[in-house]
Amino acid sequence: MTEKEKMLSGEVYSAIDQQLLEELAAAREVIHDYNNLRPSEQAKKLELLKGLLGHIGDDAIIVNQPFYCDYGKQISVGKRFFANFNFTVLDEACVTIGDDCFIGPNVSIYTACHSTDPVERNSRQEWAKPVSIGNNVWIGGSVTILPGVTIGDNVTIGAGSVVVGDIPSDSIAVGNPCRVVKKVPATMQQ
């Protein structure tokens, strides 16, 4: 297996593999161009995102600048997606975001994992775990979502939360660590 294949399958891989470093550099060039477009250049912004991300759903997609990611190709967003300023995605594994999702400012999604042992960490060996976010989800400002998390449908994550574990559908969750504080009544769901 190549280091990229290992990365995408969740196995330990070398983060300093030449192919991976080249893909990171190429993505950063596109991100630089994207973040330096004028606000009026919506068509160009969408064109760059379509070339960078793995999948973009139908209808308008808005990602306010600045936006940051590692590779881009492992990111899939659904229909009518919106992300506010400073959206950061470390997409060493797949990041799947459903339809009608709203991402507040300063939200970070991480898939990369590193050893807590300094010798292992300094070897640049790492692994990645995917993140999945369902449909009709609102992620409040300054939320951090850690590797391996699944967030269900019809969920609201409160501002400033650190999501360390799965959040079930039809929930409102807040805090550090993020926890469910309320179930959403069926009448409130779409």
Which positions are annotated as active-site residues?
114
95 and 76 Cβ atoms separated by less than 8 Å: yes
Cα separations (Å) of 33 from 47, 52, 108? 11, 11, 21
CA 6 to chain centre: 20
Residue 60 one-letter amino acid: A
Q: Is 129 helix (H, G, I), strand (E, B) or coil?
A: coil
Cα separations (Å) of 122 from 14, 116, 119? 11, 10, 5
Helix 42-52 to helix 18-35 angle (10° resolution) is 170
Which tokens in the block code for residue 69?
């990611």
Q: 45: number of CA atoms within 13 Å, CB side?
A: 16
Calpha distance 112→84 (Å, rounded): 22
101 and 123 Cβ atoms separated by less than 8 Å: no
